[in-house]
Amino acid sequence: MTTHVKAVMFDWAGTVVDFGSFAPTTIFVEAFKREYDFDISLEEARVPMGLGKWEHIQAVGALPEVDSRWQTQFGQSMQKEDIDKIYQTFMPLQVKKVAEHADLIPGAKEVIDGLREKGIKIGSCTGYPRVVLDELIPAAKNKGYSPDCAVATDDLKAGGRPAPYMLLQNMIELAVDEVKACVKVDDSVPGITEGLNAGMWTVGLLLSGNEAGLTQEQFEHADEATLAAARVKAQDAFAHSGAHYLIDTIADLPGVIADIEQRLANGERP
């Protein structure tokens, strides 16, 4: 009977690097503005976070408020060719700037080093396409983070989130043979759904990622009332996600891993 976690699969932005997940969101805003002189808010850009980036643009365009403004400005809803154009503007901007957002979230290195000391393998996947991830990986390595496996949203023909294929590819590359011994950690609902679809334990992050939208400086200088409000906002977003655990940041993960291993010892599975 399995009693130990064998692998933890992490998302990237808002989970291990880029506190607040600002690299993708700010560039979505910029891409809409550059290509169509169309304004979306940072909050609107955050709504579909976790999806592949083409699908993310499509989902932003389908938001009722955005669709209404788009129809007012252009006379119809966003079309596939509009999504393609915004994506083509987004991609070089993202490739150029993603390495600027490679700082590790506080506690990430210590937690991941601790997992490795326990013999736990470190996987990763992302809504970023491979061309972006290939810029982020060396930048993060220079900061002290290098996962054992990294799968991008366009690496697999089967597609990205919320389907489980990137996580299952992690299992193959890491040679991990039991899904119940794997944990998915993510700051977005599609990332949690991905983990559930794979049959893994799932951990949602409330304060370091997309849902709270705090900068690291805001997080570090916030009083408890401010953090509590941000926590509630993120909890509301995750309310129907099905996540097994919700914690503030990756720094709180060791206690979750210990609890999961106790549950495994008791014969539980995700």
Exposed, middle or buried by CB within 10 Å (0-12, 13-18, 19+), for 206? Answer: buried
Do 93 and 156 belong together in one domain?
no
Tens digit of each residue's pLDDT (9 = 90 or more) over 77-103: 999 999 999 999 999 999 999 999 999
Is 2 part of any domain? no
Q: Which domain holds residue 48?
A: 23-99
Query: Which helix (DSSP H) or strand (DSSP E) does residue 129 occupy?
Result: none
State how many domains the chain has. 2
User: What confidence score (pLDDT) does residue 49 get?
Assistant: 83
Instruction: Indicate the pTM of the whole model.
Output: 0.91
Percentage of residues of the chain with pLDDT beyond 70: 100
What is the per-residue pLDDT across 127-157, written as a single tens digit (0 to 9) for each? Answer: 999 999 999 999 999 999 999 999 999 999 9
What is the domain-level CATH number for residue 32?
1.10.150.240
pLDDT band at 116 (very low <50, low <70, confident <90, very high): very high
Strands (E), the chain: 7-10, 121-124, 182-186, 201-205, 245-247
Q: What is the mean pLDDT of residues 243-255?
A: 98
Last residue of a domain, one of 99, 115, 140: 99
Instruction: Provide the pLDDT confidence category of residue 175 given band limits of 50, 70 and 90.
Output: very high
59 and 118: one domain? Answer: no
Please identify, among 68, 99, 130, the residue that sits at the C-terminal boundary of a domain: 99
- Looking at the annotation, which residues are catalytic? 11, 53
Q: For residue range 9-60, what is the model confidence (pLDDT) as tens digits?
A: 999 999 999 999 998 889 999 999 999 999 999 999 988 888 888 999 999 9
Last residue of a domain, one of 73, 99, 125: 99
